[in-house]
């Protein structure tokens, strides 16, 4: 049903009457304030003006001096006999103090006046008055109408058709927890027999892009319920009371369309912890939050209303929102593991034409996308498809996949490096990373490139391994990180500013090893003082640099081979780097046999 729009004729009539009222008030104000316009004033010379004062000293006198230099004299009682008030006017003489002396002598009432442009004042009064009238007559109804329409447009009055089988990336534990919660809600009598209170809501939390909205829709599907969605930011309004009203309207709508699932995304926008300091509180937000809490408490199991909320920041939610009886079940939706990523990849490649190489390397792509959310993986394949389309291909190749991964991780490609010296330095820097990575972590490289992307002039894309990392593996990872700078120093005599990000990453890992993980020089004993921590960190860093130098010197030919390949091709696949390592070993064996 469409909401009626504000009655234009009624608003215009109201505006007309208020304008006439302001006009009448303005005329009265002009008539009343222009006291000098009622009686004629007699203009006299300055000397005559002084004489008039002397002659009428027994009367009630008043002197008004205007800022532009005119002086007015009134004879008579203005309050009792305004009509017969006698007035004289003259021009002030700045070199004479006669009037000042007479004022003191006869105790004459004196006032200094800065004249006001009454016409301008009344015009301003009319102008701003009309603006206020127009605001309340037209703008406010529009705002209310917009609030209502946006509320209705944000709510999806339909039963979704998505099921949990269509959502990839969820761990079995999460699926089971959600399904068990559903059983409890669908069987309130059985739950009641066990002394369990019916749940009113579920709170889904975790990183963005992990499918929380899809899960909420799947819950609505399983309940065969209307899905009414909104966002926490929709409740935040600049006008007091509108947020609370919108919350009431939302729950009222759910009752009318029951069974219904209310989904509040980004609930942290309205459900942040309330401040105890009044100076920093947000009354409108807190009022809206209080209203939502009241509405949650008022939901009965017989009403067939269920609330699902989602947030990326569980830690900042108000305690009252998290207490039992409101969101009884808090389920973490984490980033998918490798099996979850395989499921998501299968969903997003279902209807896409893939090259045979891509099909055979889907498991490798799943490994390469560690830390990706479902939304990131979807974006990856969209970017890959776009890249294939722009090149006029019929199928998505591995080159397109690499393009998609790089775009998600480091951004768009930049201009190629033209300066020969810079290009050579970048090539050796990345060759250092790639060589050490291939030597210490076989088959860990997806590709290496010296084509700039984002802020990086080049990079080595690794295939990350999931799981716990022992100390030895962390030390090897540090060697790979510092290898670029170490290689620059070996080849060019000194390193460049391009190592800044590498050093920052290495320092962060070493600091955690010493402070948090007990992996310093004294294993299983974390550092308890700044001086000891700094000493251990420096010792680890120096040893890592030394070990990396030794490793690169021992494999000097392999390092040069990788650098030359990068200079020639600019982008090298991980398999080529591994094959190059195998070729180097074969060449070494041949040399030994010849000797």
pLDDT by residue (tens digit) across 407-430?
A: 887 766 666 777 889 999 999 999
Query: Side-chain half-sphere of 183: how many Cα atoms within 13 Å?
Result: 7
Find all residues with CB under 8 Å of 170, minimum gap 6, and list them: 164, 211, 215, 333, 336, 340
pLDDT at 161: 85
Task: Name, in order, each residue with C-beta under 8 angstroms of 68's C-beta and a sequence gap of 6 or more.
Answer: 115
The better pLDDT of the pair 277, 2 is held by: 277
CATH code for residues 338-410:
1.10.8.60
Q: What is the pLDDT of residue 135?
A: 61
What's residue 25's pLDDT?
63
User: What is the layout of strands, in order, in the sheet containing 226-231?
Assistant: 226-231, 260-265, 305-311, 201-205, 329-332
Q: Tell me which H or E stretch contains 311.
A: strand 305-311
The segment with the largest mean pLDDT, out of 53-62, 110-119, 276-285, is 53-62
Q: Which member of 300, 430, 466, 554 is catalytic? A: 430
Please give the Cα distance from 143 to 136 (Å, whole number). Answer: 10
Asked if the model's pLDDT at residue 318 lies above 80, the reply is yes
Better pLDDT: 258 or 299: 258
What angle do helix axes 500-515 and 530-554 make, rounded to 10 degrees? Answer: 130
Q: Looking at residue 117, what is its pLDDT?
A: 60
Give the per-residue pLDDT at 400.
93
Six-digit token string for 107: 């105790």
Q: What percent of the chain has pLDDT over 90?
A: 29
What average pLDDT score do residues 435-444 get? Answer: 93
**For range 293-313, the mean pLDDT:** 81
Write out pLDDT tens, residues 334-367: 999 888 999 999 999 988 999 999 999 999 899 8
pLDDT of 123 > 50? The answer is yes
Q: Contact at 8 Å (CB) between 328 and 201?
A: yes
pLDDT exceeds cutoff 70 at 37:
no
- Identify whether the C-beta of residue 310 lies closer than 8 Å to the C-beta of residue 204: yes
Nearest to 105 by CA among 50, 67, 64, 65: 50
H/E stretch holding 446: strand 445-449
Q: How far, in Å, CA of 475 to CA of 481, rounded?
A: 10
Is residue 460 predicted with pLDDT exceeding 50?
yes
Q: Establish whether domains 155-332 and 338-410 are of one fold.
A: no
Distance CA 265, CA 269 (A): 9
Average pLDDT (374-397) is: 93
pLDDT score for 558: 94
pLDDT tens-digit readout, 519-577: 988 778 777 788 888 999 999 999 999 999 999 999 999 999 999 999 999 989 888 99
Domain 34-115 has what CATH class? alpha beta
| pLDDT at residue number 244 | 82
472 is catalytic: no
Q: What is the mean pLDDT of residues 288-308?
A: 80
- What does the angle CA 161 – CA 166 – CA 172 come to, to the nearest 5 degrees? 125
Average pLDDT, the chain: 80
pLDDT, position 6: 46
Q: What is the DSSP letter of 138?
A: I
98 close to 54: Cβ distance less than 8 angstroms? no
Distance CA 254, CA 259 (A): 8
**pLDDT confidence tier of residue 279, bands split at 50, 70 and 90:** very low
Region of poorest pLDDT, from 9-23, 103-117, 167-181, 505-519: 9-23
Other CB atoms closer than 10 Å to residue 186's CB: what's the count?
A: 11
Measured CA to CA in angstroms, residue 432 lies from 223, 357, 508, 553 at distances of 57, 28, 21, 11
Question: How confident is the model at residue 424, as a pLDDT?
Answer: 93
Neighbours of 526 (CB within 10 A): 16
Residue of 564 and 96 predicted with greater confidence: 564
| Cβ atoms of 562 and 580 closer than 8 Å | yes
Indicate the SS3 state at residue 354. strand
Task: Determine the pLDDT at residue 118.
Answer: 59
Check residue 187 and give its pLDDT: 80
Residue 2 confidence (pLDDT) above 60: no
Between these two residues, 108 and 425, which has the higher pLDDT value?
A: 425
Radius of gyration of the chain from its Cα atoms, rounded to whole angstroms: 40
Angle, in degrees to the nearest 10, between helices 283-298 and 242-256:
20
The predicted structure's pLDDT at residue 439: 95
Q: Quote the CA–CA distance of 519 and 49 in Å, as a whole number.
A: 101
**Is pLDDT above 80 for 96?**
no
Pairing of strands 329-332, 445-449: unpaired
Q: Where are the domains of the chain?
A: 8-28+120-153, 34-115, 155-332, 338-410, 420-594
CATH assignment, 420-594: 1.20.58.760
229 preceded by cis ω (within 30°)?
no
Phi/psi at 366 (nearest 5 deg)?
Answer: -60, -40
119-120-125 Cα angle (round to 5): 95
Torsion angle (degrees, nearest 10) of CA 563, 568, 570, 573? -80
- Residue among 424, 425, 444 at smallest CA distance from 434: 444
Query: Checking DSSP bridges between strand 459-462 and strand 445-449, what pairing results, if any?
Result: antiparallel
Which is higher by pLDDT, 256 or 304?
256
Q: Residue 534: count other Cβ atoms within 10 Å of its Cβ.
A: 13
Cα distance between residue 350 and residue 378, in whole Å: 12
CATH superfamily of the 155-332 domain: P-loop containing nucleotide triphosphate hydrolases (3.40.50.300)
Residues 584, 590, 592, CA angle at the centre, nearest 5°? Answer: 105
pTM of this prediction exceeds 0.85: no
Phi-psi region of 331 (alpha: psi -120 to 50; beta: other; left: phi over 0): beta
Distance between CA 375 and CA 358 in Å, rounded? 20
- Distance between CA atoms of 51 and 56, rounded to whole angstroms? 9
The CA distance from 442 to 270, in Å, is 49
Q: Which stretch of 98-102, 206-210, 270-274, 493-497 has the lowest confidence by average pLDDT? A: 98-102
Does the CA dihedral 555-558-560-562 come out positive or negative? negative
> DSSP letter at 273?
P
Per residue in 138-175, pLDDT tens? 555 555 555 554 444 444 457 788 888 888 888 888 88
Query: In terms of pLDDT, which residue wins out, 241 or 329?
Result: 329
Quickly state the pLDDT bin for 176 (edges 50, 70, 90): confident
Q: pLDDT at residue 33 above 80?
A: no
| Residue whose structure tokens are 């201009």 | 415
For the stretch 41-93, pLDDT in tens is 678 787 787 888 788 877 778 788 776 677 777 877 666 555 556 677 777 77
């Amino acid at each position: 049903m469409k909401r009626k729009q504000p009655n234009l004729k009624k608003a215009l009539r109201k505006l007309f009457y208020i304008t006439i009222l302001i006009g009448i008030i303005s005329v009265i104000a002009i008539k009343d304030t222009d006291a000098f316009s009622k009686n004629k004033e007699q203009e006299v010379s300055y000397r005559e003006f002084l004489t008039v004062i002397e002659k009428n000293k027994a009367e009630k006198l008043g002197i008004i001096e205007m800022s532009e230099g005119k002086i007015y004299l009134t004879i008579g009682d203005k309050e009792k006999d305004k009509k017969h008030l006698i007035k004289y006017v003259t021009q002030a003489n700045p070199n004479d103090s006669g009037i000042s002396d007479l004022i003191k002598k006869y105790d004459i009432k004196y006032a200094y006046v800065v004249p006001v442009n009454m016409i301008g004042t009344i015009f301003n009064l009319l102008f701003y008055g009309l603006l206020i009238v127009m605001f309340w007559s037209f703008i406010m109804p529009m705002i209310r109408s917009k609030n209502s329409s946006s509320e209705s447009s944000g709510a999806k009055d339909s039963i979704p058709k998505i099921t949990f089988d269509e959502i990839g990336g969820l761990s079995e534990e999460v699926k089971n927890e959600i399904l068990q919660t559903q059983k409890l809600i669908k069987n309130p009598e059985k739950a009641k027999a066990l002394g369990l209170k019916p749940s009113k809501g579920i709170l889904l939390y975790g990183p963005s892009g992990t499918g929380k909205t899809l899960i909420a829709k799947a819950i609505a599907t399983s309940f065969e319920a209307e899905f009414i969605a909104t966002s926490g930011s929709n409740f935040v309004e600049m006008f007091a009371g509108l947020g609370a009203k919108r919350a009431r309207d939302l729950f009222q709508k759910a009752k009318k369309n029951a069974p219904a699932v209310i989904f509040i995304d980004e609930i942290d926008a309205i459900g942040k912890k309330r401040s105890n300091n009044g100076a920093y509180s947000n009354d409108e937000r807190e009022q809206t939050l209080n209203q939502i809490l009241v509405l949650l408490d008022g939901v009965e199991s017989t009403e067939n209303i269920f609330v699902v909320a989602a947030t990326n920041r569980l830690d900042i939610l108000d305690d009252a929102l998290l207490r039992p009886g409101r969101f009884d079940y808090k389920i973490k939706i984490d980033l998918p593991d490798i099996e979850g990523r395989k499921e998501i990849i299968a969903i997003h490649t279902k209807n896409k034409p893939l090259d045979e190489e891509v099909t055979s390397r889907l498991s490798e792509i799943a490994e390469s996308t560690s830390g990706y959310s479902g939304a990131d993986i979807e974006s990856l394949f969209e970017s890959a498809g776009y890249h294939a389309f722009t090149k006029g291909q019929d199928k998505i190749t591995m080159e397109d996949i690499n393009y998609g991964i790089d775009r998600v991780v480091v951004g768009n490609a930049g201009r190629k490096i033209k300066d020969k010296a810079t290009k050579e330095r970048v090539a050796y820097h990345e060759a250092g990373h790639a060589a050490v990575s291939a030597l210490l972590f076989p088959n860990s490289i997806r590709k290496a490139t010296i084509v700039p992307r984002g802020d990086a002039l080049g990079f080595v894309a690794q295939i990350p391994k999931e799981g716990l990392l022992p100390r030895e593996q962390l030390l090897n990872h540090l060697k790979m990180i510092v290898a670029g700078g170490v290689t620059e120093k070996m080849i060019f005599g000194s390193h460049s500013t391009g190592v800044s990000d590498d050093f920052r990453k290495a320092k962060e890992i070493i600091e955690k090893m010493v402070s948090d993980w007990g992996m310093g020089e004294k294993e299983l004993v974390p550092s308890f003082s700044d001086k000891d921590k700094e000493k251990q960190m420096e010792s680890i860093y120096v040893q890592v640099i030394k070990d990396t130098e030794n490793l690169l010197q021992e494999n000097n030919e392999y390092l040069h081979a990788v650098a030359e390949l990068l200079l020639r091709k600019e982008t090298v696949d991980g398999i080529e780097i591994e094959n190059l390592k195998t070729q180097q070993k074969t060449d070494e064996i041949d040399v030994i046999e010849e000797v």
